[in-house]
Amino acid sequence: MELNWAPRHSWQDGSTVAPGPLPPWPVPLPGQPPPPAGAGTSSGPDQAGAGPEVTADAAAAGDDVPVLGTGPSRQASFAWLRDVSFRTRISVLVGVAVGIAVAMAALVSYLAVSRQLEQQANSNLQSAVSQLPTLVRFEGPGELSQAAFINFQLRTNDQIQVIINSSQGAEVYSVNARQDTMPQSTFFKLTAAANQALAASPDTQSVQTLQGSDGNPYRVATVSVISGELAVQIGYPLANVDDTLAFLRLMLVLVALGGVAVAAGLGWLVGRASIRPVETLSWAAEHVAETQDLSATIDDTGNDELGRLARSFNAMLGALAASRQQQAQLVSDAGHELRTPLTSLRTNIEVLIRTRDLPSNDREALLADVDSQLKELTTMVGDLVDLAREDEKPDEEEPGPVPFAELVQRAVDRAHRRAQSLHFDVSLQPGQVRAQPALLERAVMNVLDNAAKWSPPGGRVGVRLEANSAWHLTVTDEGPGVAVEDLPHIFERFYRAQSARSMPGSGLGLSIVKRVVTSHGGTVEITSPAGGGARVDIELPLDQEQTG
């Protein structure tokens, strides 16, 4: 802050101390001869009263500096955040974070400005102190110049107070430049530090912050001129500094509050935009729970975490819808497939019951037909039970090492007993595969039954098992093969080719093969070689314990 070289008409004296009678000037110093008669221009001061008393309060008031943030800190509890919406949490947390950041920035700014103003005030005060040697002039032996102090106050606009140690105690003279006088009055209370500076060697000074008689704060430097006899106090006014800091505090508080409000509002908007997909997800989940409508999906166009969550939710709903559709399709297809054998079985049984005199040949034919239909019905029900457990863990034993060649050989023997007119060309490489033996044997049996069903009488069925990087089981037949249009649907439940609808079967055998092989980590493929017939290739992983 620069020195304010204000003109005399801008002076405002708020002093509450009435000036006393004007002392004679120049003032004689103690130990010096008195000035000649008529040298003074005013009557002497009233010596009835003693000098100003130095109080303990005045001594303690000089260096008291307030300390910020000395109260005990308390940890805030955020348990209530769990009882409000996530959007509100974001708004509160963003507001608190921004508030802390703004408060810290405001505190640092305030301390920096306050420190700068304090340094500038001290610099201006020391600049005035440096002019003090040119201020103190003697008009005669022991006589001080009053006009020099008045001119100094007019130039610097600082408050000047002179302390003279006389035989009757310390006498204090305050400069009143407005009235061109320097009456004996106290503007700054004498403190212990001021008395120490008075008694110290010349040019010794003490700096304090004191309150003047006008009620305003001053930065006061007490400088010793003549050790033990004369000291001068220069008070730099801090009213402008305090006003500036007060205005700065107000502005920083307003900026902090505005920043917190804006941050809370932006946090609420950001939280609303961010949480909207989660709310949509919650609404969709509640809608599905209430209506069982699995077709409800949400927007999953985003590439962030919420977008991936939406896509996962839609995928889950799609999987549930597909599972429900498969269950409904299974029930529908099972009902359709069971209707034909049950109707035929009922008709044959009714004929046998109603026609008691049926010829023996016809009766035996009907009984054979009933037996065949019961076997077909039993097979279909078993296949349906296996398919109904597709999404459940089987009750069979855990997968373990199984002699693959022996398992295939048992299946070939069973298939040969059912189709004795066929020739089975078998080539099996010994080894083990990790599998559930009952399920795997059922799948191999279904493949062999399918090959036997389509092979002509006297035909050949090839069975080859070998291992290299994986187990490969190949089954070939000499049947008509699989039409190209049937290949994409060959493993679907209850799917039967046009040429197979007149033949016995449930349409579930190959679907079971696909499920069993896939559950064992393998693959299955059906092709129609150029030479005719069908070729089934099953690939299963090797037993890692055996290979290791």
CATH of the domain at 312: 1.10.287.130
Cα–Cα distance, 399 to 385 (Å, whole number): 20
Supply the DSSP symbol for 532. S
Cα–Cα distance, 131 to 353 (Å, whole number): 141
Cα–Cα distance, 231 to 201 (Å, whole number): 10
The verdict on 338 and 436 lying in the same domain is no
Cα–Cα distance, 483 to 527 (Å, whole number): 9
DSSP-derived 3-state class of residue 511 = helix
Number of domains in the chain: 3
Given 289, 316, 340, the domain boundary residue is 289
The verdict on 278 and 338 lying in the same domain is no
The verdict on 263 and 321 lying in the same domain is no
The verdict on 122 and 246 lying in the same domain is yes
In-domain check, residue 522: yes
202 Cβ contact list (under 8 Å, min separation 6):
224, 225, 226, 227
In-domain check, residue 57: no
In-domain check, residue 200: yes
The verdict on 489 and 465 lying in the same domain is yes
311 Cβ contact list (under 8 Å, min separation 6):
300
Cα–Cα distance, 99 to 422 (Å, whole number): 88
The verdict on 482 and 539 lying in the same domain is yes
In-domain check, residue 72: no
Range of the domain at 427: 400-547
Q: Which amino acid is at 451?
A: A
Cα–Cα distance, 410 to 426 (Å, whole number): 12
Cα–Cα distance, 446 to 466 (Å, whole number): 20
Helices 86-130 and 239-291 pack at an angle, to 10 degrees, of 170
In-domain check, residue 59: no
Q: Which helix (H) or strand (E) holds 211?
A: strand 205-211
Given 388, 411, 441, the domain boundary residue is 388
The verdict on 272 and 248 lying in the same domain is yes
Tokens encoding 442: 């059922």
The verdict on 152 and 247 lying in the same domain is yes
The verdict on 234 and 264 lying in the same domain is yes
Q: Give the Cα-Cα-Cα angle 375, 379, 382 (nearest 5 degrees).
A: 140
Cα–Cα distance, 475 to 426 (Å, whole number): 9
In-domain check, residue 257: yes
Give first-to-last CA distance, the chain, whole Å: 87
pLDDT in tens, 36-70: 444 433 333 333 334 444 443 433 344 444 443 44
The verdict on 328 and 407 lying in the same domain is no
The verdict on 380 and 409 lying in the same domain is no
Given 364, 388, 412, the domain boundary residue is 388
DSSP-derived 3-state class of residue 365 = helix
In-domain check, residue 50: no
pTM given for the model: 0.43
pLDDT in tens, the chain (548 residues): 332 333 333 333 333 333 344 344 445 544 444 444 444 333 333 333 344 444 434 333 444 444 434 444 444 455 666 677 777 777 788 888 888 888 899 899 999 999 999 898 888 888 888 887 777 666 555 567 778 888 888 888 888 888 888 777 788 888 887 778 888 888 888 888 888 888 888 878 888 889 888 888 998 999 888 888 888 889 999 888 889 899 999 999 998 888 888 888 888 888 777 777 777 778 888 888 888 887 777 777 777 777 788 788 888 888 888 878 877 776 776 676 677 678 878 888 888 888 878 788 888 888 888 887 787 777 777 767 766 665 555 445 678 899 999 999 999 998 898 888 999 999 999 999 999 898 899 889 889 988 888 888 899 999 999 999 899 999 999 888 887 787 777 777 666 665 555 555 556 778 888 888 998 899 999 998 887 889 999 999 988 665 55
The CB-side HSE value for 271 (13 A sphere, CA atoms) comes to 17
Q: What is the DSSP string of 437-497?
A: HHHHHHHHHHHHHHHHHHSPTT-EEEEEEEESSSEEEEEE--S----GGGGGGTTSTT---
DSSP-derived 3-state class of residue 527 = strand
The CB-side HSE value for 329 (13 A sphere, CA atoms) comes to 11
Please report, for the domain that includes residue 436, its CATH number. Answer: 3.30.565.10
Tokens encoding 465: 């098992």
In-domain check, residue 126: yes
Strands (E), 230-296: 230-237
The verdict on 375 and 354 lying in the same domain is yes
